Structure formats: C-alpha cells, structure tokens
A and B are shown apart, each in its own frame.
Chain A
Amino acid sequence: MPSARPTTTPDERAVVRQALSVSVATGLYGISLGALAVVAGLSVWQAVVLSLFMFSGGSQFALVGIVGTGGSAASAIATAGLLGVRNGFYGVQLSPLLAVRSWRRVLAAHLTIDESTAVATAQPTVRLARVGFWLTGAGVFVLWNAFVLAGALAGNALGDPKRYGLDAAASAAFLALLWPRLRTALARYVATGAVVVAVVLTPAVPSGVPVLVAAVLAVVVGWWTAREHAHPDAEDGEAR
C-alpha cells in the first residue's frame, strides 16, 4: 500500500494523514453498528457479511434499524437502496478521476463511500486524489469491518441493549450522518418535513413505510424547486 512508500512532499504526507484519521474515526463507529446489528436480531455472521458486501454506513444503519423495529424485508431493502443512491453519484464524479478498468473498477466502486469521495475530491491534484481515494477506501474498509465484528461480538455479550443506551446510539448515528448535509435552507426544510411525516405516519402505517414516504416527499420537493430555481446560479452544493 502507498503508506509503505516514502512520501516525498508535504501534500502527500497531508493526504496520507487525512486518509488515516478518517479511516480510524469511521472504523471506530463500526463498533456501534456491529452491536446494534446483533441487538436488532442479526447473527454475528449476518452483521459481518452485511458490512463486507454493503459497505456503506448509512445504508447499513438503516437496514439494521428497520429490521430491529420490525419492518418488512422490502422496506429495509428499499431504504438501504435509496440511501445508496448517493454513492452512485459519487461514482460519476470519481470515475474520470480514477480512470481504472476491469476488476480495479469494481473494487473502486465498492470503496466508493462518503469518506473516500470526500478525501479524494478535496485534493488539489489528480495524483493526490487517487492516493486519497484508495488509502481512505482501503483504510475504512479494513477498520470498519474489523470494528463491526468486534461490536457484534460485544453486542452478543451485552444483553439488554437499552441498559447501555444502544438504541439512542442509533439515533445519534443517523443525526451525525445527517448533520453535514444540512448546509442549505432547502435541506433543512426537507429534513424538518421528513421528521414530521415520519412521526405522523408511525402510528398509521407499517414500520419502515414512514421513512420511504419521507423519501418520496424529497423527490417531489427536489423536482419542484429545481423548476422554481431554474436560473444557472441556483445553489446546489450538496451533491458532492
């Protein structure tokens, strides 16, 4: 891996440092995902397979949350999938930057997540962007999966999850994932609307459905406001 090579410029050292700190921070909260997964009813193996193959924190927390609250398989799959749509948009940005083919492209796609995209697209040169992407992607992959396993084993041993506040940890995890996306007023309105919709619908419809209805609301608002602000200087800095 690039970390074994001598780094020559301050820029390179900076991107390596950034990649490692992001990997450690992200990896650590894999503990909470692992613990929540077994508490929700997944086996340790299921938690591990989920992390290895889905490898997208938001989607994983969503799937585990919906399974844990008794939602249907269909709503769990749909919510995890919808949350995964943004990774597709990251891929559109990353693909010309990375310029890889065949199995490397599949690997790059699998490592395309919030963190690797953020580090890659923050770099001033293509070379640094590639180093940032691969180092962050690989670093998060290794640490995230290791800590999910640790969390799943710990969660199995803990017993009642509520005693340790693990249900509140899941709320906080979603809030922390949401937080950096609330920079525009429109995003804050949509978030508020989604909360209202989810709370109002919870007693009325099956578990998992309120979240999907909130997503439909966002599609309507997104489409409609894009028409309203059709002039070229309309701000939309959220789709990084």
Chain B
Amino acid sequence: MSPTTIWVTVLAASAGCLALKLAGHVVPGTWAAHPRVARTAALVTVALLAALVAVQTVASGRELVIDARLPALAVAAVALVLRAPFIVVVVLAALTAALLRAAGMP
C-alpha cells in the first residue's frame, strides 16, 4: 500500500470504529439487547480473531507456510493455559520464534 492509501485506511477505519462506539451509547438498548443479535455479535468477534490467528500463523501472502510461527503459537497457548498475562504471552511467542530462527528454522 502507498502511504496515502495507508492514511485513508487508518482514518476511515478509525472513524468507523468510533462511530460504532458512539452508536452503542446513543441508540436505545432494546434492539441491541436482543439475545440473537448479541450472541451473533459475540460469535463474529470470535470468528474474526480465530481467523486472524490462523492467517497470521500460517499465511505468507497467499501461500501457506509452516515456519517458526507455529511452534511459537503453541508456546503462547501453553502460556495462556497457565494464565500468563498478555504481555508475557506475546513476549514468549516472539522469543520462541526468534530462538528457532537463530537455530536455522525458517
């Protein structure tokens, strides 16, 4: 992306996110409090984050690649099971990938 395209992306996405936040504070709650709407919204968040985990771990552009990211993600999962704080999870994953790459893994 060109710097201009990135600016447009950043500003448009930020405006959208703020508009969504404001909408929640301004609209009457009855519609959004409907269980089906609330449940669907929660599941959309789950699906997006899960898909982002997958893409960020095994995609390289449009290719599927197994590299140091996968074992790093496994370490992150173990850290989460052990209830490590967010920053520890992230740092452990980075450290794992960095060490594996220093040892020659792609």
Chain A residue nearest to B7 in the complex (CB): A46
CA distance A170 to B77 in the complex (A): 13
Is B24's CB under 8 angstroms from A92's CB?
Answer: yes
Is A87's CB under 8 angstroms from B24's CB?
Answer: yes
Chain B residue nearest to A181 in the complex (CB): B46
Give every chain A residue within 8 A of B90 (Cβ-Cβ): 29, 32, 169, 172-173, 176
Is B98's CB under 8 angstroms from A85's CB?
Answer: no
Is A106's CB under 8 angstroms from B52's CB?
Answer: no
Size category, A interface: 35 or more
Interface centre among B32, B62, B63 (most CB of A within 10 A): B62
Is B50's CB under 8 angstroms from A214's CB?
Answer: yes
Q: Does A148 contact B (CB under 8 A)?
A: no
- Give chain B nearest CB distance to A16 CB in angstroms: 19
CA distance A206 to B59 in the complex (A): 12
- Give chain B nearest CB distance to A232 CB in angstroms: 9
CA distance A69 to B58 in the complex (A): 11
Is B44's CB under 8 angstroms from A88's CB?
Answer: no
Q: Does A217 contact B (CB under 8 A)?
A: yes
Give every chain B residue within 8 A of A81 (Cβ-Cβ): 13, 16-17, 20
Is B86's CB under 8 angstroms from A26's CB?
Answer: yes
Give every chain B residue within 8 A of A167 (Cβ-Cβ): 56, 69, 97
Chain B residue nearest to A222 in the complex (CB): B40
Chain A residue nearest to B16 in the complex (CB): A81
Q: Which residues of A196-233 have CB atoms within 8 Å of chain B's CB atoms?
A: 197-199, 202-203, 206-207, 210-211, 214-215, 217-219, 221-223, 225-227
Give every chain A residue within 8 A of B1 (Cβ-Cβ): 41, 67, 73
- Give chain A nearest CB distance to B96 CB in angstroms: 7
Interface centre among B25, B58, B63, B80 (most CB of A within 10 A): B25
Give every chain B residue within 8 A of A112 (Cβ-Cβ): 21, 24-25
- Give chain B nearest CB distance to A206 CB in angstroms: 7
Give every chain B residue within 8 A of A84 (Cβ-Cβ): 16-17, 20-21
- Give chain B nearest CB distance to A225 CB in angstroms: 8
Is A87's CB under 8 angstroms from B20's CB?
Answer: yes
Q: A65-B56, A174-B53, A239-B42 are in contact. Are A88 and B47 (CB under 8 A)?
A: no
Which of the residues B32, B42, B43 comes within 8 Å of A88, measured between beta carbons?
A: B32
Is B17's CB under 8 angstroms from A59's CB?
Answer: yes
CA distance A32 to B92 in the complex (A): 12
Which of the residues A28, A82, A109 comes within 8 Å of B21, measured between beta carbons?
A: A109
Give every chain A residue within 8 A of B69 (Cβ-Cβ): 167-168, 171
CA distance A223 to B86 in the complex (A): 32
Q: How does the 8 Å CB contact mask read for B35-48 relative to A, with 1 for contact and 0 for none?
A: 11011111111111
Which residues of B does A touch, CB under 8 Å?
A: 1, 3, 5-18, 20-27, 29, 32-33, 35-36, 38-64, 68-69, 72-73, 76-77, 80, 85-87, 89-99, 101-102
